[in-house]
Amino acid sequence: MLTAALYGLGTALPLLFGAWVGLRYNLPRPLLAALMAFGAGTMVAAVSSELFAPAFAIEGVWVAGTALLAGALVYVVADHLVENKLGPAALGWALMLGALLDGIPENTALGVSLMEGGGVVLLVAVAVGNVPESVAGAASMRKQPGFNSRRAFGVWAITAVVLVLVVIGANAISDNISDGDIAVIQAFAGGATIAVLADSLMPEAYREGGWWVGLSTALGFLVAFALGA
């Protein structure tokens, strides 16, 4: 259990660090755009190699595809509800929601993989992606009317605690979770991640940074793909 807790902290602490940076510092728009684009690139790599590919290989296109679309649908509906409530200030909360929806399945897979002596590559990939995603999300929260930094950080802290508990819980019940079940959960996370990219992260990165953010996206993809190779 101690190992699982440490791995969980390995995913949660980068998330908290990114949120702290985004909430405390008014980052230059080009830097924020670059971070968002880099995070988008890491998420593209995670979806293709770590999340959807195992489900496709184990369960086939129909089961994996259904799980992928279900994940996208859940995020799109939840994001729409957030936008209706918060309006232009919704981006930060949408990115935090995305971090939770894709983080839970990823951390479930991480907790299970520890029983087989693995998990290091997935841990690094998740941690690398969590930093720019939380920086961008937290920085965007500052635009919300009546912004309260302590309250916002508290919400990110709750998210981080949930992700740690997911790793511990998945590790504890790993003997009862089949490879197929894990693969379907990962495909669901992949769908949520794709929706985060299309609806929130990449449009905002382009709006803040312009045409050159494609380079930062490609760099993020390269880094994450190399770590997972």
**pLDDT tens string 128-153:** 778 877 887 888 787 776 677 888 89
The span from the CA of 79 to the CA of 156, in Å, is: 17
Rg value, the chain, Cα: 17
pLDDT of 90 > 70? The answer is: no
pLDDT of 97 > 90? The answer is: no
Burial pattern 111-133, b for ≥16 Cβ within 10 A else e, equals bbbbeeeebeebbbbbbbbbbbb
- Looking at every residue in the chain, the average pLDDT score rounds to 82
Residue 229: which pLDDT band, with cuts at 50, 70 and 90? low
The span from the CA of 193 to the CA of 6, in Å, is: 25
Residue 108: which pLDDT band, with cuts at 50, 70 and 90? confident
Mean pLDDT score, 198-225: 86
Give the count of alpha carbons within 13 A of 178, CB side only: 6
> Which range, of 14-18, 59-63, 223-227, averages the lowest pLDDT?
223-227
What is residue 81's predicted lDDT score, i.e. its pLDDT? 79
pLDDT of 165 > 90? The answer is: yes
pLDDT of 10 > 80? The answer is: yes
What is residue 61's predicted lDDT score, i.e. its pLDDT? 93
Stronger pLDDT, 63 or 204, i.e. the higher one: 63
The span from the CA of 47 to the CA of 148, in Å, is: 33
Kindly tell me the burial class for residue 185, based on how many C-beta atoms sit within 10 Å of its own C-beta (0-12, 13-18, 19 or more).
buried
Query: What does DSSP assign to residue 144?
Result: S
46 close to 227: Cβ distance less than 8 angstroms:
no
Residue 89: which pLDDT band, with cuts at 50, 70 and 90? low
pLDDT of 118 > 70? The answer is: no
